[in-house]
Amino acid sequence: MSVTKTLFGKVNDEEVYLYTIMNKSGASVALQTLGAGVHAINVPDRDGKLADVVLGFDNPADYINPDYGYQGLSVGRWANRIRDGKFIFEGTEYTTPQNQGTWTLHGGGRFSFTNWEVAETGENFVTFSRFSPDGEDGFPANMTMKIKYTFTEDNILRIEYTVLADRNTVANPTNHTYFNLSGVDGETVEDHSLQILADYFTETDASQLATGELGAVKGTMMDFTTLHKIGDRINEPFRACLGDVGYDNNYCLRNQSGDFALAAVLQHEGSGRKLEVFTDLPGIQLYCGGWLKRDYTVGKGTNLVTYRRGVALETQFYPDALNIPAFPLWTVKANEAFKTVTEFRFSVI
C-alpha cells in the first residue's frame, strides 16, 4: 500500500492536493483536499481491467459549482434538505442559508466547497479535518469534523466521520460520490442493477421536502427490495419524483439499530463490477443525476458529467429530521465524539 501526494491545481488562490492510495493489485482511490472529496476510484472489472468508476472533473474549480452536483464531495454540517432554512434545537431556533429556493441544501455548501486540512496520513489512509466555529451557517457550537478514508487490499473504501463539539449540536455528514461501474465514457446508470434494503421511503411534497410521512415501496417504482435495473421504472410518473428527474429520494433502511450493516448493492452486468454499501446510519439517498445538465459538461478526460451519468448512494439521517420529531436523529453531545461509518466495498460478480 502507498499514498502519493500531488498538486491538483488552485481554487480561490488556494492549492488543492490529491492523495492517491494504491493497493498491491493496482486498484486506487484518489482523494482531494477540496471538499475532502473522492476524486477517482479505479477498480477492476471481471477481466481485471482497471477503470475509474466515479464522476468528477479535471479542473478543480468545477467542483465548487453547485449546479454540477457536489461531485464526490463531503457534505456538512447537515446533508440534504432543511425546510425554510430553520430548525429548533434544545429550545432555540437556528437559521441556515436558503441556498436552494426557500430551503437549505447540504448545509449551505460550505463544507463541500472549501479546502480541508490533512490531519494525518498512513500507508493506506488519509484523514481530513475542518473546524467550524459556533454560528457558522447558523449551526450551534464550535465543531471539528474529521473524515478518515481507508482503502484496503480487498478494494474496500471505508469512510469514518468523527465530530467533536464544545456543546450539544447536530451533525449529518455524508459523501456525494456518483458511481458509474461501467467505467465507460458516455454510459448512463439506467442499465445498472440496484438493491436497497428498505421497505419504506420518506414522502415528499411538490418542493421535494419531507412531509414526515413514510411511504411503502411495495408495488411502486420505488421498490428496490430485489435487485433490478435502475432504468426499469425510472421514467414512471410518481408522487415522490419530480418530472423527469427520476430518483432523488431517501430510503428508510431496515437496519435502524445503529449497528453496521448492508444498505445497498449496485452492480453492472457488462463489466461485472459490484458495489456494496454498508453503514450504521438509518437512511440512504438514491439520486441518479436527474438534476444534472443534459448538454456538454466536461468531466475527467472525455467523460461527461451529465444527466443520469452517475448514481449517488448517500448514507444519512432522513431529510429535514431536524424539523420532524418522528424521524431518527442522534445528537452530538458536548465534548463527546460522535462517530459514523460508511463503507463502499468493490468486487466482481
**Residues with catalytic annotation?**
176, 314
Which SS3 state, helix, strand or coil, does residue 83 take?
Answer: helix
Q: State the sign of the Cα–Cα–Cα–Cα dihedral 177, 181, 185, 187.
A: negative
> Residue 92 contacts by C-beta under 8 Å, 6 or more apart in sequence?
140
> Terminus-to-terminus CA distance in the chain, angstroms?
25
Which ranges of the chain would DSSP assign to H, the alpha helix? Answer: 110-113
> Three cell numbers at 87?
430548525
Residue 208 Rama label (left phi>0; alpha psi -120 to 50; beta): left
Alpha-carbon span 113 to 66, nearest angstrom? 9
> Three cell numbers at 66?
453547485
Alpha-carbon span 326 to 3, nearest angstrom? 43
Q: State the sign of the Cα–Cα–Cα–Cα dihedral 184, 178, 45, 271.
A: negative
Phi then psi for residue 188, to 5 deg, are: -85, 175
Nearest alpha carbon to residue 21 among 45, 48, 43, 53: 43
> Three cell numbers at 260?
453496521
Which SS3 state, helix, strand or coil, does residue 128 take?
Answer: strand
Alpha-carbon span 49 to 21, nearest angstrom? 18
The C-alpha angle 193, 197, 201, rounded to 5 degrees, equals: 100
Alpha-carbon span 28 to 234, nearest angstrom? 32
Alpha-carbon span 340 to 64, nearest angstrom? 25
Write the burial class of residue 243 (CB in 10 Å: 0-12 exposed, 13-18 middle, 19+ buried).
Answer: exposed
